Amino acid sequence: MSAPKTLAKSGFSTTVADGIAEIVIERPPVNALDDAGWHGLADEIIRAGQNPAARVIVLRAEGRGFCAGVDIKELDKEPERIVSVNAGNYRSFEAVHRNPLPVIVAVHGFVLGGGIGLAGAADIVVAAEDATFGVPEVDRGAMGGGAHLQRLFPVQKVRMMYFTGEPITAAEAHRLGAVEQVVPRAQLREAALAIARKIAAKSSVMIKLAKESLNGIEDGNLENKYRWEQGFTLQAYMSKESAETRRAFVEKREAQLNAEGHSEKNKK
């Protein structure tokens, strides 16, 4: 029997049933979370991990795509929010990676920016056939996502994606070993839940120990790596080029940059 849905104002809902906590992001039109949304999602993931009725977490989304990252329109209006947004991203990704419970992330459509952070922090990723993974940060005047992207893909593939902004398909992600399964969109939720049921049927104590031990033997500290990247995001936000790329995105036009990559629109 399913537990009642609890809808959060920040754009997601949670149900807990049969040992599975299912968190669904639903913030139209593209599931881009604002400042409050990222902090709210972190809190919800942490609560799910502390729920005695839960043994495994499934994180998925409704709508056109899994997650488009941060709300660029909010940051264009209030760029000073970047510090708090950075903190919300950090907390959300940490809540997945350091959660005492295994976290399965089921993605579809676009997986961008913060969506990469959530998928890259996960224990298991399941993808719909239409899923694409990308980091358009350079074109949005920001940094971040490389640490989590590198947890999914090889170093040179990460750099290609980062420098060009070009996404890769679910099929390619599966070939590279980042995705456990690729399924038709209509089967995505059930595919994730099927894996979750296998985990939920096992000893909760043993699964928690297994996750903690696996986190402990990873190469480097994921959170420290991401924190390093975030320092460059803040530095980027101090430049005129960053402001111009954000405004161009909001106005749905090409950024006005000169041959050196500097903002022409803001040039004095």
Q: Is the peptide bond before 52 cis (omega within 30 degrees of 0)?
A: no
For the chain, give the mean pLDDT.
Answer: 88
| Predicted confidence band of residue 236 (pLDDT cuts 50, 70, 90) | confident
> Residue 11's pLDDT is what?
86
| Predicted confidence band of residue 82 (pLDDT cuts 50, 70, 90) | confident
Cα angle 46, 189, 226; round to 5:
40
Query: For residue 89, how far is the Cα from the chain centroid?
Result: 8
Bridge partners of residue 6, in order along the sequence: 14
For 31-55, the pLDDT digits (tens) are 999 999 999 999 999 999 999 999 9
Closest CA to 47 of 86, 90, 83, 8: 8
| Predicted confidence band of residue 242 (pLDDT cuts 50, 70, 90) | low
Do residues 100 and 49 make contact, with C-beta atoms less than 8 angstroms apart?
yes
| Predicted confidence band of residue 1 (pLDDT cuts 50, 70, 90) | very low
Q: Give residue 132's identity as a one-letter amino acid code.
A: T
6-185+200-225: what CATH class? alpha beta
Q: How far is CA 73 from CA 151, 233, 242, in A?
A: 29, 17, 13
The rounded percent of the chain whose pLDDT value lies above 70 is 87
Element (DSSP H or E) covering residue 193:
helix 188-200
The alpha-helical segments, DSSP class H, found in 55-176 are: 72-77, 82-97, 114-121, 146-152, 155-164, 170-175
Cα dihedral 103, 108, 109, 115, rounded to 10, equals 0
